[in-house]
Structure 1
Amino acid sequence: MPAAQTLTSGKRYRVVAAFVDYDRQLHPIGETWTFECTNFLPYEDGLTLHVIANGLPVVYRLQQRPEEQAALIENFTDFVVPC
C-alpha cells in the first residue's frame, strides 16, 4: 500500500518537505491539516486526499504516474509527518 494511503483519519499532519500536487498547488513546509480519508480512482491512477485545513474541508489530488506524483505517493511519509 502506498505511504499516502496509510494516514490515520482524524490525525493532524505537518508538511516537512514541500511538494506540488496534481493541480500544481504548492504545499509548503509547515503547512498543517487534519486527515479525513482518501479515494482512489483506478482508471486515472488518481489519489484524492480529503483533509480539513483552516477549519474547511479541502481535497488534494495526486496522480500515481511516474510523470506526476507517483514518487510522492510512494514516499509520502518523507513529506508529511504526524504533528
Structure 2
Amino acid sequence: MTDGSSMTKACTVAAVLCELLETHMQACDVGGRPSGDHHHHIVSAVHGTRADVEILSSCENEDGVEIGLTLNDGATFRIQVESLSASPGQE
C-alpha cells in the first residue's frame, strides 16, 4: 500500500485484465495482414491452434471475479481472480 488506503480489490484487477484482452482483440481485428487475413486473438504454434474470442464476460462471485472466454472454435475458459490477502477490516 502506498498511502494507507484500502488494498486493490479483485474486481479492479479483473477489470484491468479484461481491458488488456479487449485491447489485444481490437488490435488483432484492426491490424490485419497484407494478405487481408486478420490476426487471430489466440494462437499456439506448439499446439497448432488459433481462435478468436467471441464472448468475453466477467461476474463477481463469493471468491472474487470470474472472467469467461468463449472462443469461435467451441472452447470455453474460466479465469478466477481472487485476492490472496484480506483488506484491512476483513478476516
- TM-score normalised to the size of structure 2? 0.41
Which protein shows a greater Rg? 2
Greater per-residue helix proportion: 2
